């Protein structure tokens, strides 16, 4: 069984967000999401491998004049249940269950890192109707493509620190340039992540090829990546351009893989541009 915990101080973080907790079922799993409400077009946000929904609050709250953000606690993270599997298809089915369960009409889809891979699969599966997708820093590692830059033992060490009890100063040793609030949130919420979920997802980074899906992601599709990213390299960005020429690519200066944390203002500007471009497209089809 997973060793997972949510600190009382972490639950207080939820109370301080301008969002409502929503619950849906995906098969037998209970999934939790933060819904920022409003009547604007919905935006489903899918976080990364060790990022519960609350850690994307600083992004979501800056978009509420443009969209209605709904941020998912991906299975095995935050307040969502553990799953029996943690493959891309499992994650995609959960995302589809969230969209149908909350009756989100033609949502946009934003994924970061692991979430970007999930978003690509949801778009290709086409089980739900999407308005468009924004993929931020999808891991492009995979079979014959080399390892994911962050080793599994680094994730395990950080998780062990969180279970033992950590603070923002210790988190800053791994992520020194992050805003202080984001270091504090990671310190309080990382222990809510299941080790099995992290291990299985990391394995997927190296055994499930992003480019099996990316060329089939329909337009409108936008891909954001950090100028200093070890995950989406220049070669990876070039392959993404060639393999899906209808997509738009946006490089974020001064950012690595964690683009919203590394360069918040620049990354948010690029994200808002991508979302606005999608929203401005005339509606076609049913």
pLDDT tens digits, residue range 67-85? 999 999 999 999 999 999 9
Q: Is residue 108 part of a domain?
A: yes
**232-283 pLDDT tens trace:** 999 999 999 999 999 999 999 999 999 999 999 999 999 999 999 999 988 7
Tens of pLDDT, residue by residue over 103-156, are: 999 999 999 999 999 999 999 999 999 999 999 999 999 888 889 999 999 999
- Across residues 207-211, what is the average pLDDT? 94
Q: How confident is the model at residue 8 (pLDDT cuts 50, 70, 90)?
A: confident
CATH number of residue 195's parent domain: 3.40.50.1820
Q: How far apart are CA 51 and CA 223, in angstroms?
A: 20
Can you give the pTM of this predicted structure?
Answer: 0.96
pLDDT-derived band of residue 6, with 50, 70 and 90 as boundaries? confident
Pairing between β-strand 29-35 and β-strand 20-26 as defined by DSSP bridges: antiparallel
State how many domains the chain has.
1
Give the dihedral of Cα atoms 271, 55, 225, 122; nearest 10 deg. Answer: -80
Mean pLDDT taken over the chain: 95
Give the separation between CA 239 and CA 261, rounded to whole angstroms: 25
Asked whether residue 274 is assigned to any structural domain, the reply reads: yes
Say how far residue 258 (Cα) sits from the centre of its chain: 11
Q: Is residue 286 part of a domain?
A: no
Domain that holds residue 72: 8-279
Nearest alpha carbon to residue 49 among 140, 173, 138 = 138
2 band by pLDDT with thresholds 50, 70 and 90 = low
Residue 275 lies in a domain: yes
Identify the bridge partners of residue 32 per DSSP, sorted by sequence position: 23
pLDDT of residue 20: 97
Q: How far apart are CA 275 and CA 172, in angstroms?
A: 31
pLDDT at 9: 84
Residue 2 lies inside a defined structural domain of this protein: no
168 assigned to some structural domain: yes
Q: Is residue 1 domain-resident?
A: no
Q: What span, in angstroms and rounded, lies between the C-alpha atoms of 36 and 69?
A: 5
Burial track 80-118 (b if 16+ CB lie within 10 A, e otherwise):
bbebeebbbebbbbbbbbbbeebebeebbbbbbbbbbbb
User: pLDDT band at residue 284, thresholds of 50, 70 and 90?
Assistant: low
Provide mean pLDDT across the span 185-189. 94
- pLDDT at residue 1 tops 70: no
Nearest of 112, 43, 78 to residue 186 by alpha carbon: 78
8 A C-beta contact, residue 165 and residue 78? no
Q: Which of 42-51, 56-65, 155-164, 223-232 has the least mean pLDDT?
A: 155-164
- The residue ranking higher by pLDDT, 286 or 63, is 63
Whether residue 89 is contained in a domain is answered as: yes
Order across the sheet with 132-136: list the strands: 20-26, 29-35, 68-72, 42-46, 108-112, 132-136, 221-226, 248-252
Residues 147-168 have a mean pLDDT of: 93
């Amino acid at each position: 069984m997973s060793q997972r915990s949510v600190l009382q101080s972490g639950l207080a973080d939820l109370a301080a967000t301008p969002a409502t907790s929503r619950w849906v079922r995906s098969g037998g799993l209970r999934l939790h999401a933060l819904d920022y409400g409003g009547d604007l077009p919905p935006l489903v946000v899918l976080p990364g491998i060790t990022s519960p929904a609350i850690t994307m609050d600083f992004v979501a709250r800056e978009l509420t004049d443009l969209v209605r953000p709904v941020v998912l606690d991906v299975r095995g993270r935050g307040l969502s249940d553990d799953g029996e599997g943690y493959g891309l298809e499992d994650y995609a089915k959960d995302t589809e269950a969230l969209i149908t369960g909350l009756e989100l009409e033609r949502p946009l889809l934003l994924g970061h890192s692991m979430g970007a891979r999930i978003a690509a699969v949801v778009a290709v599966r086409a089980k739900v109707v999407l308005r468009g997708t924004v993929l931020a820093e999808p891991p492009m590692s995979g079979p014959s493509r080399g390892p994911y830059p962050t080793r599994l033992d680094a994730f395990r060490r950080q998780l062990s620190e969180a279970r033992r009890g950590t603070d923002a100063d210790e988190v800053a040793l791994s992520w020194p340039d992050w805003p202080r609030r984001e270091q504090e949130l990671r310190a309080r919420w990382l222990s809510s992540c299941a080790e099995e979920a992290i291990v299985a997802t990391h394995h997927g980074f190296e055994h499930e090829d992003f480019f099996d899906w990316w060329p089939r992601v329909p337009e409108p599709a936008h891909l954001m990546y950090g100028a200093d990213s070890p995950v989406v390299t220049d070669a990876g960005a070039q392959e993404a351009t060639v393999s899906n020429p209808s997509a738009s690519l946006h490089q974020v200066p001064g950012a690595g893989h964690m683009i919203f944390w590394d360069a918040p203002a620049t990354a948010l500007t690029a994200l808002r541009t991508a979302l606005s471009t999608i929203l401005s497209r005339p509606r076609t089809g049913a």
